[in-house]
A = this chain, B = another copy of it.
Amino acid sequence: MSTEPSDFNVTPRNRLMRYPKRGHYDKATIYPILDEALVCQVGFAIDGHPYVIPTIHARLGDQVLLHGLKGGRLLEHIEAGNTVCVSVTLLDGLVLARTAFNHSMNYRSVVLYGSGAAIEEPAAKLAALERLTEHVAPDRWRDVRPPDAKELKMTTIVAIDIEEATAKIRQGPPGDDGEDLTYPVWAGVVPLPIVPQPPQTDPKQTIAYPVPAYVTPYRRPPRA
């Protein structure tokens, strides 16, 4: 029996079959990965056919918010009450082992399952859009023109209840062992962080507005 905390039930759907020691089922592990990721991949099935769409997301409590232009296939599918699978992967580095077999990646990933509904009420929609904007760039929302009625109407927002979730994490040096350790080749890890670069001002900007603190530099995950 695992002594790991488990906030989510471990079911045939979300239980890690391969490398089960890399699996985690607690919110304290899963939610920071969701919160750091800038892109998620949403899988869904229509008439048994699989689809995956990349999009931005934000977590709000035990829900994941998604948004997009009204009428999109994914959002309509969620509005209709169907279950989706949301996957995020943070790639941390390459693991170059002495054996081809032990080559790997260091990563932190989450796969979750849930269903939800559209957020329709205008104030709640605005709050959800604020959360989505703040997920990407904390403090940006207060600086920009908020959505007007037409833009709000063009936008669909859904909230998905996180029903099951799994984090899978691999960190550290290569897993070679035994006599492979003497194989005569360099082995180690190449870290692959996302390194935000200096902001590039929009060429259409004619007045030198100050560059906001949240992009000088931009940090991921954001400052606590």
**Does A100 lie within 8 Å of B50, measured CB to CB?**
no
| Copies held by the complex | 2
Given the complex, which residues of B lie within 8 Å of A220, measured CB to CB?
Answer: 192
- B97→A50 contact, CB < 8 A: no
Chain A 79-125 residues near chain B, CB threshold 8 A: 83-87, 89, 91, 94, 96-101, 103, 105, 107, 109, 111
Q: Specify the chain B residue showing the minimal Cβ separation from A19.
A: B69
A47 to chain B, nearest CB (A): 8
Contacts of A85 in B (CB 8 A): 43, 50-52
Residues of A within 8 A of B (CB): 13, 17-19, 38-39, 41-45, 48-54, 56, 68-69, 71-73, 83-87, 89, 91, 94, 96-101, 103, 105, 107, 109, 111, 129-130, 133, 136-137, 140-141, 143-147, 151, 155, 173-174, 176, 180-181, 183-197, 199-205, 207, 209-212, 215, 218, 220
28 A-B contacts (beta carbon < 8 Å): A18-B71, A38-B192, A39-B107, A41-B41, A41-B52, A41-B87, A41-B89, A45-B48, A45-B50, A52-B52, A53-B111, A54-B87, A94-B136, A94-B137, A98-B145, A99-B151, A100-B130, A100-B141, A100-B146, A101-B147, A101-B151, A145-B183, A174-B204, A184-B209, A186-B205, A186-B209, A186-B212, A188-B199
